Amino acid sequence: MKRVLTAALAAAALLFAGGCGGDDGATPSGGGASGGSAAYPVTVGSLTLTQRPQRIVSLSATATEMLFAIGAGPQVAAVDDQSNYPADAPKSDLSGFKPNAEAIAAKNPDLVVLSDDIDKITSQLDKLKIPVFMTPAAKSMDDTYKEIGQLGVLTGHQAEAEALHQQMTTQIDKIVKGVPARGKPLSYYYELDPTLYSVTSKTFVGSIFSLFGMTNVADAADPDGSKKGYPQLSLEALVKASPDMIFLADSKCCKQSAQTVSARKGWQTITAVKTGRIYPLDDDIASRWGPRTVDLVQSVADAVAKVPA
């Protein structure tokens, strides 16, 4: 199933992505001005660009959203087949899950942005002298802000990237503080697909729910992290845990809803089902760690606010 594949790929990057947090390794050689006045060369990590990229190819839906949010959209020449936001992104048949070096090179890119080094695509593009930058799946909001900042430096939009960082921080803080503290934490189950794949608190999504002090019933299914934060729960364990709330990240891909969940055999004793606290999420927003994470935080806050203290 496509959704499980997405989760598995994200899981591998989530726990083992290198260089997360701390210094972002970004060195704008000319002082880091934004827009057309940015001075090059600039260096982020091991990548140095001698001039501002004008034909960016993004093979990450999250990176696509970041690039457009910091004002680098006009520099994006092509995006992958999963990049459906914003609507005016130049969508193509390129794939981030099955990347093809020749097809990417045909777009004549001066920068390629990836989230996973699938099939050693990075080395293939290196041989073609095409600059590559990795934006691996985040584990926390700090990782998101770091990637936004790095893309800002590389594209000549450092000031815009910092402004976006500050805007997101302010909005998320306001949303979280607007939800009254509870004496007893709410428990929740987050569904990736109807086969009961979920996420633990150690994932990016889990960190969002932790902002509200919530307890994740999936944590018990991956206590040592051997399942990389993406365990498959059993119905028996889920019924026993009886979460207070259920969040569905499979409402678009798998057509799941409060009605379909309530109709599932054996689910009627679960607290969230009995109380009607089942909340469909936008699959895309829920699976990306970019600017629209603010919308995910708002969705969780709205749901939590409906539960009596």
The domain segmentation of the chain, as residue ranges, is 36-158, 178-305
CATH topology for the 36-158 domain: Rossmann fold (3.40.50)
Q: Angle at CA 114, nearest 5°, toward 110 and 118?
A: 120
Per-residue model confidence (pLDDT) at position 150: 98
Query: Is the Cβ–Cβ distance between 138 and 168 less than 8 Å?
Result: no
CATH architecture of 178-305: 3-Layer(aba) Sandwich (3.40)
231, pLDDT greater than 90: yes
Q: CA 48 to CA 136: how far, in whole Å? A: 18
Query: Is the Cβ–Cβ distance between 114 and 96 less than 8 Å?
Result: yes
Mean pLDDT of 165-169: 98
Is it true that the peptide bond before 291 is cis, omega within 30 degrees of 0?
no
Per-residue model confidence (pLDDT) at position 264: 97
4, pLDDT greater than 80: no
Per-residue model confidence (pLDDT) at position 127: 97
- pLDDT band (50, 70, 90) for residue 108: very high
pLDDT digits (tens, 9 = 90+) for 120-151: 999 999 999 999 999 999 999 999 999 999 99
Residue 36's closest CA among 63, 1, 85, 71? Answer: 71
Distances from the Cα of 270 to the Cα of 235, 265, 294, angstroms: 10, 11, 29
Per-residue model confidence (pLDDT) at position 26: 58
Two tokens, residue 274: 């009995």
Indicate the range of 15-29, 190-204, 249-263 predicted with least confidence.
Answer: 15-29
Two tokens, residue 64: 């696509």
12, pLDDT greater than 80: no
1, pLDDT greater than 60: no
Same fold, 36-158 and 178-305: yes
Across the chain, mean pLDDT equals 90
92: helix, strand or coil? coil
Per-residue model confidence (pLDDT) at position 309: 80
37, pLDDT greater than 70: no
- pLDDT band (50, 70, 90) for residue 18: very low
pLDDT digits (tens, 9 = 90+) for 53-71: 999 999 999 999 999 999 9
15, pLDDT greater than 50: no
297, pLDDT greater than 50: yes
